[in-house]
């Protein structure tokens, strides 16, 4: 009769040994003794271990490309979030099990859809908790944005104080609101509301200078018009990536955010599309000006000056380029040239509010 220690390991024993270790096996001692002597069983265990390892590394294999019939990422998100009917879910899951790319998309969608946060995410979430005050003030902002009416007490006070004026203002507001603002208008509005750039941009009305934002800084206090402009421009750029007008708007948003490197890159892209456009050159000059201000690089002032001079050679009446060049001269420590430009500006645009700034600058420079 065969000694039990001589019997080869069964398939179950081999798999159990690989999964749980030899200690978990019922006839552990006999198996240990058998394995000391049996090359055949050792090779079978090694083969299962190799398959086990390969199974665990299955996601590392080369992925097949997505095909024309692959559902969108949005569809996988909707599936993961339980928004699709069962028959659609079945169809998509069947596809995911045969398409590597979509399997991965499903995997990523499931990560987003999981309502439980990992310990690391909990830490991040704690940093974004809004206290009662913050929630309350933001709720008021949302109320305004969603078109909510002021409460009854507010209405009463306003009605008593200036009913007629309110009615007129409301009428004007309705007319204004019914007109959809273009990104350029929104950007101009943002510039005026929260002017952080000394230089002028085309189409924007005067606004008092405020403390500037900078790259890497929070954009929490950006005016809503800028947020809206960014959202609109981003969406439109997806449809019209070559549009010079949209690229210029994108660059101006970067300018207002003081992301000068991005602004330069976008304006240069736009200039490549349409070789010379004065307003684009003026904007690019502003981006170089910002870089010079942020990084204290005088050479960037030189680039800005060069561009603005090109614009003014073509059109000496370009008041925005003239205004901006005067400031650049000032920053470059060339007061005589700055004074000459400011004087020209005051002659060119004597009645606007910008002329007040020009006269202040003239006074400041001549007093030195």
Partner 1 sequence: MSCIKTKESAAWEEFISRFHRCIVLTVVRTARQWGETSEAVIEDLTQDTYLKICQEECRVLRRFQSLKTGTFRGYLTVVVANFVHDHFKGAQTAKRGKGRRASSLEDLKHEASDQASSAREIEQNIFANEVKSALKRLSASRSAERDCRIFWLYYRHGITANAIAGLPTVGLSVKGVESVIGRLARLVRAELTGIGAVSDDKKKRSTGESSSAIDLVNNEEE
- How far apart CA 289 and CA 260 sit, in angstroms, is 8
Smallest distance, Å, CB 7 to partner 1? 13
What is the footprint of partner 1 within residues 88-147 (CB under 8 A)? 89-90, 93-94, 96-97, 100-101, 103-104, 106-108, 110-115, 117, 121, 124-125, 127-130, 135-136, 138-140, 142-143, 145-147
DSSP H helices, the chain, are 11-20, 28-37, 39-56, 73-80, 86-96, 100-113, 119-127, 132-145, 152-178, 183-193, 224-239, 244-256, 260-273, 278-295, 298-314, 319-331, 335-348, 354-366
For the four alpha carbons of 172, 175, 180 and 184, in that order, the dihedral sign comes to: negative
Burial classification of residue 248, based on how many CB atoms lie within 10 Å of its CB (0-12 exposed, 13-18 middle, 19 or more buried): buried
Smallest distance, Å, CB 54 to partner 1? 5
Residue 82 binds to partner 1 (criterion: CB under 8 A): yes
> Based on CB atoms, which residue is closest to partner 1, 223 or 335?
223
Smallest distance, Å, CB 252 to partner 1? 12
What is the footprint of partner 1 within residues 193-222 (CB under 8 A)? 216-220, 222
> Based on CB atoms, which residue is closest to partner 1, 81 or 162?
81
Which residue in the set 4, 177, 241, 350 belongs to the binding site for partner 1 (CB under 8 A)?
A: 241
Q: Decide: 184 and 226 in contact? Cβ < 8 Å.
A: no
What is the per-residue DSSP string for 28-86? Answer: HHHHHHHHHH-HHHHHHHHHHHHHHHHHHTGGGSPPPPP-TTPPPHHHHHHHHTT-S-H
Which residue in the set 36, 39, 62, 174 belongs to the binding site for partner 1 (CB under 8 A)?
A: 62
Residue 176 binds to partner 1 (criterion: CB under 8 A): no
> Based on CB atoms, which residue is closest to partner 1, 51 or 313?
51
Segment contacting partner 1 (CB under 8 A): 9-17, 27-35, 162-170, 194-202?
Answer: 9-17
Residue 233 binds to partner 1 (criterion: CB under 8 A): yes
Which residue in the set 36, 39, 58, 179 belongs to the binding site for partner 1 (CB under 8 A)?
A: 58
Residue 6 binds to partner 1 (criterion: CB under 8 A): no
Contacts of 259 (CB under 8 A, 6+ apart): 215
Smallest distance, Å, CB 170 to partner 1? 16
> Based on CB atoms, which residue is closest to partner 1, 143 or 364?
143
What is the footprint of partner 1 within residues 143-172 (CB under 8 A)? 143, 145-149, 151
For the four alpha carbons of 247, 251, 257 and 262, in that order, the dihedral sign comes to: positive
Total residues at interface with partner 1 (CB under 8 A): 99
What is the footprint of partner 1 within residues 255-284 (CB under 8 A)? 262, 265-266, 269, 273
> Based on CB atoms, which residue is closest to partner 1, 234 or 306?
234
| Residue 109 phi, psi (nearest 5) | -65, -40
> Based on CB atoms, which residue is closest to partner 1, 128 or 164?
128
> Based on CB atoms, which residue is closest to partner 1, 241 or 333?
241
- How far apart CA 68 and CA 78 sit, in angstroms, is 19
Smallest distance, Å, CB 166 to partner 1? 19
The CA distances from residue 314 to 200, 288, 307, 309, 331, in Å, are 19, 20, 11, 9, 24
- How far apart CA 10 and CA 14 sit, in angstroms, is 6
Smallest distance, Å, CB 61 to partner 1? 4
> Based on CB atoms, which residue is closest to partner 1, 155 or 356?
155
Bridge partners of residue 209, in order along the sequence: 195
Residue 365 binds to partner 1 (criterion: CB under 8 A): no
Query: Comparing C-alpha atoms, which of 222, 199, 219, 220 is closest to residue 209?
Result: 199
> CA dihedral defined by 241, 244, 246, 249, rounded to 10 degrees?
140
Smallest distance, Å, CB 5 to partner 1? 19
């Amino acid at each position: 009769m065969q000694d039990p220690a001589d019997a080869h390991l069964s398939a179950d024993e081999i798999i159990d040994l690989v999964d749980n270790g030899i200690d978990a096996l019922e006839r552990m001692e006999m198996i240990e003794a058998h394995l000391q002597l049996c090359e055949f069983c050792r090779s079978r265990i090694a083969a299962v271990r190799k398959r086990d390892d390969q199974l665990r590394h299955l996601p590392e294999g080369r992925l097949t490309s997505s095909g024309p019939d692959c559902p969108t990422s949005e569809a996988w998100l909707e599936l993961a979030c339980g928004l699709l009917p069962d028959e659609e879910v079945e169809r998509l899951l069947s596809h995911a099990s045969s398409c590597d790319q979509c399997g991965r998309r499903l995997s990523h969608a499931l990560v987003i859809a999981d309502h439980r946060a990992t310990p690391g995410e909990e830490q991040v979430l704690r940093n974004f908790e809004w206290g009662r005050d913050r929630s309350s003030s933001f709720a008021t902002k949302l109320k305004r944005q969603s078109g909510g009416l002021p409460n009854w007490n507010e209405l009463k006070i306003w009605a008593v104080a200036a009913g007629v004026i309110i009615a007129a203002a409301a009428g004007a507001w309705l007319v204004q609101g019914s007109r959809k603002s273009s990104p350029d208008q929104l950007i101009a509005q943002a510039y005026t509301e929260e002017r952080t750039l000394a230089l002028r941009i085309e189409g924007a009305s005067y606004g008092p200078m405020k403390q500037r934002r900078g790259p890497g800084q929070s954009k929490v206090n950006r005016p809503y018009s800028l947020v809206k402009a960014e959202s609109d421009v981003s969406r439109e750029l997806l449809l019209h990536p070559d549009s010079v007008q949209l690229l210029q708007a994108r660059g101006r948003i970067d300018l207002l955010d003081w992301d000068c490197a991005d602004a330069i890159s976008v304006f240069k892209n736009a200039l490549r599309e349409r070789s010379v456009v004065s307003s684009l050159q003026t904007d690019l000059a502003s981006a170089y000006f910002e870089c010079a201000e942020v990084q204290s690089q005088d050479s960037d002032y030189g680039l800005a000056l060069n561009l603005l001079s090109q614009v003014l050679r073509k059109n000496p009446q370009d008041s925005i380029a003239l205004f901006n060049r005067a400031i650049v001269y000032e920053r470059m420590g060339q007061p005589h040239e700055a004074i000459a430009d400011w004087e020209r500006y005051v002659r060119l645009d004597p009645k606007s509010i910008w002329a007040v700034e020009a006269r202040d600058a003239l006074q400041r420079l001549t007093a030195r």
